[in-house]
């Protein structure tokens, strides 16, 4: 009888591990070429670790995590950032192609414009590399700044204030794309090179140059997932991206499978 119980336990463990590998493998699959960084905020131990490239975002102190989402309340410490060159100079700047994709929900607007994703050194436009912003009137704005500091912007792509949204910007020296929920706007460029300056930030406009992290135009809401690709994605590829759902595998679930 004891041997039989041990055998059942061993089978349970083996089947559980196999199922975990299968589910995790499916969740981690991504068939779009060029994915180099992805934050899903799902990991309980450290939700800020990028599960593709291993880059860790820094929580300034106010962001909390629940149900696989990063939750921003607009406090002066409520933003994420990284000084890691892998998500700064190695990706954004010069003529490097890239795509930034984010799934988010908006709760409220403290100001008329909210900075969702930003790479900048200060609040000045000529010290900004790129960004995704939201207008309280319900539009997504994407921008890159060329070498002389002048902006190239695409705006007024609609998004929902009641549901989850996906937004993205894609850049190459000859084309700049802004995307929101299946709608795109494209700006043809003339072989431009963008600024290589600033620090990658999520959740607001941060003035790093001042030395005291002045914070403005804050995001209040939730980010479900954030991805970066090292090339310009097409509209069809952007439409095909699906965020990874949080995986909650319990003992009861395993037991139901084993039984």
The tens digit of pLDDT for each residue in 79-88 reads 999 999 999 9
The tens digit of pLDDT for each residue in 174-202 reads 999 999 999 999 999 999 999 999 999 99
Q: Which CATH class is domain 34-244?
A: mainly beta
Please report, for the chain, the start and end positions of each structural domain, with discontinuous segments joined by +: 34-244
The answer on pLDDT for 256 being more than 70 is no
Distance CA 139, CA 159 (A): 6
Of all residues in the chain, the percent with pLDDT exceeding 90 is 65
Beta bridge partners of 106: 221
Which of 5-9, 91-95, 229-233, 235-239 is predicted least confidently? 5-9
pTM of the model: 0.84
Distance CA 198, CA 88 (A): 8
Distance CA 174, CA 117 (A): 22
């Amino acid at each position: 009888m004891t041997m039989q119980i041990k055998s059942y336990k061993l089978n349970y463990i083996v089947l559980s591990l196999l199922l975990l590998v299968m589910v995790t493998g499916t969740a981690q699959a991504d068939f779009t070429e060029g994915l180099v960084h992805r934050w899903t905020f799902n990991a309980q131990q450290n939700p800020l670790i990028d599960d593709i490239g291993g880059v860790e975002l820094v929580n300034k102190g106010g962001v909390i995590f629940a149900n696989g989402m990063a939750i921003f309340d607009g406090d002066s410490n409520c933003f994420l950032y990284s000084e890691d060159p892998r998500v700064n100079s190695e990706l954004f700047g010069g003529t490097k192609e890239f795509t930034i994709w984010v799934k988010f929900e908006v709760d409220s607007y403290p100001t008329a414009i909210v900075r969702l994703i930003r790479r900048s050194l200060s609040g000045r436009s000529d010290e900004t590399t790129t960004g995704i912003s939201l207008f309280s009137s319900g539009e997504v704005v994407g921008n890159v700044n060329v070498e002389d500091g002048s902006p190239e912007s695409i705006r007024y792509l609609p998004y929902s204030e009641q549901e989850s949204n996906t937004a993205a910007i894609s850049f190459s020296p000859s084309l700049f794309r802004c995307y929101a929920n299946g709608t795109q706007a494209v700006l043809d460029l003339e072989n431009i090179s963008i600024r290589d300056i600033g620090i990658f930030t999520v959740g607001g406009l941060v003035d790093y140059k001042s030395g005291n992290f002045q914070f403005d135009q804050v995001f209040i809401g939730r980010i479900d997932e954030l991805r970066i690709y090292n090339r310009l994605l097409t509209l069809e590829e952007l439409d095909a991206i699906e965020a990874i759902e949080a995986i909650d595998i319990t003992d009861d679930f395993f037991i139901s499978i084993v039984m």
